[in-house]
Amino acid sequence: MDMLKDKVVLVTGAARRVGAEIARTLHAEGAVLALHYRSAAAEAQALVAAFNAARAGSAIAFQADLLDNEHLPRLVEETVKHFGRLDALVNNASSFTATPVGAIGAREWDDLVGTNLKAPLFLSQAAAPHLALARGAIVNITDIHAERPLKNYPLYCAAKAGLAGLTRALALELGPNVRVNGIAPGPILWPEDGSFDAASQAAVVARTLLKRCGDPADIARTVRFLLADAPFITGQIIAVDGGRSVVL
């Protein structure tokens, strides 16, 4: 029960949706949190206020654009400067947009590869010395479509496939002192841009073995497991998808 007590965890994209649930779950287990956000300042500060009301000095928020290379090592530096250490990094922040072949340009490349692959790489690189001192861990949020592509999303799928490969490569590079694992979500939360209408959602659920969507808590509990209860697991990617990847 005390495995995460006072452990310092940096979570990217932590202000909303799955990232916020990861933060709430880890904080409930005693972790101290650095919450990254890009534009959701009000949500991030509300989380920090709630965490600090429950346990003084247990959370802080940092704003950063993960497409800005200078911000990436600075996020790690600011976390260590404030808390004095870093025990874990959760690379959760992600962009998800359709890019049919013929409609892919430099802007789409920079956004999707930048958030889903480049930022996790450079954050992990900056965090590695601190994590090694703490014998800490990295958890990357990948996607089941890294292995089985989703129609009209080739660039997103390629970026997440790169993140899956990076997860295994970093486990090799950073072991034995740092464990690196990934979580591949299936249908958890639908995109907010309306790209999946009711019929599309129903079709996805119909081809999910458990015949329902998951919940952000399913991802958050798996993050907690990998950080707190899996000392002999590294270089692995766990699908949390209700069995959807079995029939994709």
- Report DSSP state, residue 144: G
**Cα–Cα distance between 212 and 83 in angstroms, integer?**
40
Q: Using H for helix, E for strand and C for coil, what is the string for 199-236? A: HHHHHHHHCCCCCCCCCHHHHHHHHHHHHHCCCCCCCC
Kindly name the residue from 156, 180, 181, 234 that is annotated as catalytic: 156
What is the rounded CA–CA span in Å between residue 16 and residue 52? 18
Cα–Cα dist 201/232, whole Å: 37
Q: What angle do CA 184, 123, 134 make, to 5 degrees?
A: 90
The residue type of 160 is: K
37 annotated active-site: no
Helix axes 71-83, 119-134, angle to 10 degrees: 30
Q: What is the CB neighbour count within 10 angstroms for residue 210?
A: 13
Phi, psi of 88, deg, nearest 5:
-160, 150
Q: Where are the alpha helices (DSSP H) in 114-215?
A: 119-134, 154-174, 198-206
| Share in percent of the chain as helix, strand, coil (round to 5) | 50, 15, 40
Are the beta carbons of 156 and 96 closer than 8 angstroms? yes
Q: Which residues are catalytic?
A: 156
